[in-house]
Chains A and B, each alone.
Chain A
């Protein structure tokens, strides 16, 4: 992915700087109460410095404070701008890929010869368009006629074309992707500018980003703290008047700005945008920030068995010969019975026979009669002239011919969650093949990790209870839903939610749509139906349902980063008090010099150092805000301990060092 390189490139940085200045507009900043207050204070101190200069009074110190207060505001807007810039870089490349699309507007669905040329931007919902080989699909839509292969690399990054056809689960097409072969008649489901891609681009850019519930709550906390410190600083004037000279306005302004939580206030929106961006880099697109946040809270994860937990196809795992039959004979008969079977199951029998018994598969011999599998007979095989008839069949199809000992073995296979097939030669049952679901490698470890996070995994399958229980035990999921109908899924989600749990699920089919809509986090597959994509609140462009697990991680990372920087910001206040308060009153109460624990050079340098530290720490933490604070695979209690130590205790200590270092620099430079 080249967006990282692009994001770090010069143009992005230059644009971010320009945007940072534009964002100083108070009308924009008012969304961020902490930084807004800082800006108001900056304006006030600037005016006072100018007034002092005009009156030919000393103004250098005031101007210094004013300058650094402005930088504090600027660094905060810069953090937001750079986060947006990174998202925009990716969005632009998406947008470029769409180019100046033209559309062929059809008057009637059944007549593909009559079309008008129309700019894609003029399309409306419900329009019918023809897309031919080589055309860019101009808008999101649903194929209503035809079958075609589509290159969706612009969206998924995957260059292998995928099939799109009318009806069924593969009818959704996405604007910006290219038709490689054949044709489709598409009904536009979203007008350009409002398509899925447009919404995604807008979200990544941060333009249409709405504050998430948790962000709103945090904003309230920060605004409340700002008010508390406003009270604390404003009342100093009155209190000090009782027996001392109140400090000057610039000094009080410096105290106020260093006390209010500017660090987290400045980085909050950058953290949110970066969270969305991380998701997009991961090829998952959320329709709202709310969904990303909810992902962090998920307690229950519903995963489809097939394709998510297991490889998707059952595979031959063992041969069980009937009494008196050589296993190699059985293997050979099974291979012959499967020669014409092109399904993955059939292939897996050949593979097993070769690996276990060295039985090589031959081409289907001349003159052989192929007995294809049908749902009615549930038998397939091959009749070879001179060698006999070879069959494999569902176990119950040949129950009569199966020796009692094998019946027992067959039952055992079924109990273990596998599927038994019996193999017969000339009507004589030779033995059974166990077909097993193969669990993807590493799934057990991932489920263990999820359990440590407090997330229950639930396997959803159409299999019977017996099979489901066996696979569930092998995969290490916490629960399973067997013989699941769409209603069952919906009911399960509702019950879990009634118990106060948050549920995430991945799905692709139209019959998944109600459950996707009901789940707190519904991850729809890009290859899924339009209905599923509309019902979910995230779309996975790679159509990999296991990604739900990473989505949860990203959601958590977003919250952790916010919490860590909030804690850091609040803990910083202690050191700032130690820098500024003695400095303010030491002239009148010389004994207070004892509280100048950092040994700062002078009151002026102490105040200036605190303000400079307060501004620089925002810039210093931008990379962390963009990267996010990870979980490090820790459980909740351990994670809290680690983060409290790093960001709480660190937040207490770092500013002592930082302010001292800045003071030393200022002194060396002879500024104070």
Chain B
């Protein structure tokens, strides 16, 4: 590890927190309908759709509206991907996707996962990228933020039924937050040389074609919306997708900016900024700790490489871009897995076993550190409720969070949400580890092969989308099971979370009293971190033991797989 490496990391994280403050305030203004510079357009949408933005929705209606939008989005995207061969804007004359791949991809983009069992430049037409994938990049991100706002409103108010209007939230977030930010970031990326063209590609001497396309704005929203799906197959490790140190910095910032900003939006909307800062602090703690671990593991290098004569000071550069280096590759790996983004600027498969364990564990912790846009906030809220429940008892009261009593119904729903990730990750992985149909996809033997399986299902269930290379994902079995994992990982958490929101909204918000303990400050930050590790992480230890940990000790003993 080097000082300059840590300086880069510190600079970026400071930038994220600094921008989170104004962004958080702005999102709160958007959520409360106080931003309206495109009001005619906005009201145009409502009129066309016959929606009254002022009409509040109870939690069931809110969920139904969200599910309806996502279901329609899935069907449209599926149809588009299957039919792209006959549609315009297909200069490379790519064929339509197979049913399995189209199913998997459509789910993947609707659920904000952006797991890619294909390589963008050789599988997707420009129309599919722009009218299909990019549209879902916006909508899935806006969906996540809307749900987080609904939950925030439930905690902010007392004794209400309505959580806001889903359609109004969706339109406002898209118009006033995601579109302007993506436009701005896209321009900056174009200025740095990321292509934005409708041509198929540039032909090199000798006839080889370098694929090009409308990449810059797609990249902007993939990062801002924690979608992560690359325009090109190797994502932000591709020299067109992430050409310079500045684009690397911008994209890293974009991955983390909104999830952190939303915690401060939360603080603002519940009327106590300290609550938002406490959540930020927990998230930042894990990002820093994860980065330190991954950075240390990668900087220490691979003993076999060193034995073979490589300079130990270089660390493990396998699978990394020289222009990004170890520090920013480690930070990216942590940011992209912590934030449920899934874009990569280095190959996680090539990390050392412990370096690769960090991103995998961050996903398994439930994608809440800081998690996807919106999903990170509503996800960490599940852990907050459980932390408050367990620890709250220790002060001798029925536990309360922000004056709302946490009772059997909330605990039940929170536990349902907590169950989803281990069930999907461990369940699907255990089956894949013995099923021949799945085993055919696994490239490596031994613990590393198991890590590839585990990572894939973690990524899907966590709606992350990044991949440990080495797994052939485009098979009917993998496409189907990963698709199901993505669906469950998204909606089987959203529904209980919104049910919690409905239940909390109806409760009166009791005024602060000296009898309830503060849910801000270092003690609570430590408590919440502990609960996330114990309730969110311990169940994965046996699996991690069999994967990266076993591989690490085998590697130390000179054994490879």
Interface residues of A (CB under 8 A from B): 213-214, 216-218, 220-221, 223-225, 227-229, 231-244, 255, 259, 293, 296-297, 299, 451-455, 498-501, 555-557, 559-560, 562-564, 566-567, 570-571, 573-574, 577, 581, 585, 588-592, 594-595, 631, 635-637, 639-641, 643-644, 647-648
Contacts and interface: CB of A to CB of B under 8 A. Distances in A.
B415 interface: yes
Interface string B376-393: 000000000010011111
Contacts of A499: 508, 510-511
A643 B407 CA distance: 21
B546 A236 contact: yes
Given A225-B535, A228-B418, A231-B426, A455 B515 contact: yes
A241 B408 contact: no
A221 B419 contact: no
13 contacts: A217-B389, A218-B393, A221-B411, A228-B535, A240-B546, A242-B450, A243-B449, A255-B542, A499-B511, A500-B403, A563-B394, A577-B538, A585-B545
A581 B542 contact: yes
A239 B543 contact: yes
Given A217-B408, A636-B516, A231 B554 contact: no
Given A214-B393, A560-B395, A501 B510 contact: yes
A237 B434 CA distance: 10
A243 B434 CA distance: 10
A235 B395 CA distance: 37
A556 B397 contact: yes
Given A243-B449, A451-B514, A563 B433 contact: no
Interface in B395-421: 395-398, 403, 406-408, 410-412, 415-416, 418-419
B518 interface: yes
B48 interface: no
A450 to B, nearest CB: 9
Interface string B525-553: 01100100011001111110111011011
Contacts of B313: none
Contacts of B411: 217-218, 220-221, 224
Contacts of A589: 550, 553-554
A567 B394 CA distance: 9
Given A453-B515, A640-B523, A221 B430 contact: no
The 7 closest A-B CB pairs, nearest first, are A454-B515, A563-B393, A591-B553, A238-B430, A556-B396, A224-B415, A500-B510
Nearest to B527: A644
B322 interface: no
B76 to A, nearest CB: 35
A646 B141 CA distance: 42
A156 B498 CA distance: 51
Contact of B412 (A220, A635, A636): A220
B308 interface: no
Interface size class of B (residues with CB under 8 A): 35 or more
B541 A631 contact: no
B430 A293 contact: no
Given A232-B540, A239-B433, A296-B396, 11 more contacts: A214-B407, A220-B412, A239-B429, A452-B514, A560-B395, A563-B391, A573-B538, A640-B395, A640-B523, A640-B527, A647-B394
B450 A592 contact: no
Q: Which of A243, A297, A573, A588 is packed against the most chain B CB atoms within 10 Å?
A: A243
Contacts of B407: 213-214, 217
A220 B415 contact: yes
Interface string B410-450: 11100110110011001101110110000000000111011
A562 B389 CA distance: 11
A563 B423 contact: no
A238 B545 contact: no
A238 B454 CA distance: 12
Interface of B: 158, 386, 389-398, 403, 406-408, 410-412, 415-416, 418-419, 422-423, 426-427, 429-431, 433-434, 445-447, 449-450, 453-454, 507-511, 513-518, 521, 523, 526-527, 530, 534-535, 538-543, 545-547, 549-550, 552-554, 556-557, 561
A655 to B, nearest CB: 14
A235 B514 contact: no
A228 B429 CA distance: 15
B106 to A, nearest CB: 28
B389 A581 contact: no
A591 B554 CA distance: 6
Nearest to A214: B398
A472 B523 CA distance: 37
A656 to B, nearest CB: 16
Given A220-B412, A591-B553, A498 B508 contact: yes
B408 A220 contact: yes
A89 B557 CA distance: 64
Contacts of A227: 419
A639 to B, nearest CB: 5
A560 B393 contact: yes
Given A213-B407, A241-B434, A500 B511 contact: yes
Nearest to A241: B434
A248 to B, nearest CB: 15
A298 B513 CA distance: 11
Nearest to A452: B514
A216 B507 CA distance: 19
A559 B554 contact: no
Given A228-B539, A242-B449, A299 B398 contact: no
Given A231-B427, A563-B390, A641-B523, A224 B396 contact: no
Contacts of A296: 396-398
B419 A243 contact: no
Contacts of A231: 419, 422-423, 426-427, 539
Contact of A585 (B513, B538, B546): B546
B346 to A, nearest CB: 26
Nearest to B421: A228
Contacts of A640: 391, 394-395, 517, 523, 527
Nearest to A630: B396
B434 A636 contact: no
Contacts of A452: 514
B542 A232 contact: yes
B433 A238 contact: yes
Given A232-B539, A242-B449, A644 B546 contact: no
Contacts of A213: 398, 407-408
A546 B192 CA distance: 75
Nearest to A649: B530
A574 B539 CA distance: 11
Contacts of B541: 232, 577, 581
Contacts of B454: 239
Contacts of A220: 408, 411-412, 415
A243 B450 contact: yes
Given A221-B389, A227-B419, A499-B508, A637 B398 contact: no
Nearest to A555: B396
Nearest to A244: B546
B389 A233 contact: no
Contact of A236 (B158, B392, B419, B542): B542
Contacts of A635: 514
Contacts of A647: 394
A635 B523 CA distance: 14
Contacts of A641: 523
B397 A559 contact: yes
B331 to A, nearest CB: 28
A647 B391 CA distance: 10
A644 B521 CA distance: 14
B168 to A, nearest CB: 29
Nearest to B442: A242
Nearest to A211: B408
Contacts of A571: 534
B515 A636 contact: yes
B457 to A, nearest CB: 11
A454 B527 CA distance: 22
A221 B390 contact: yes
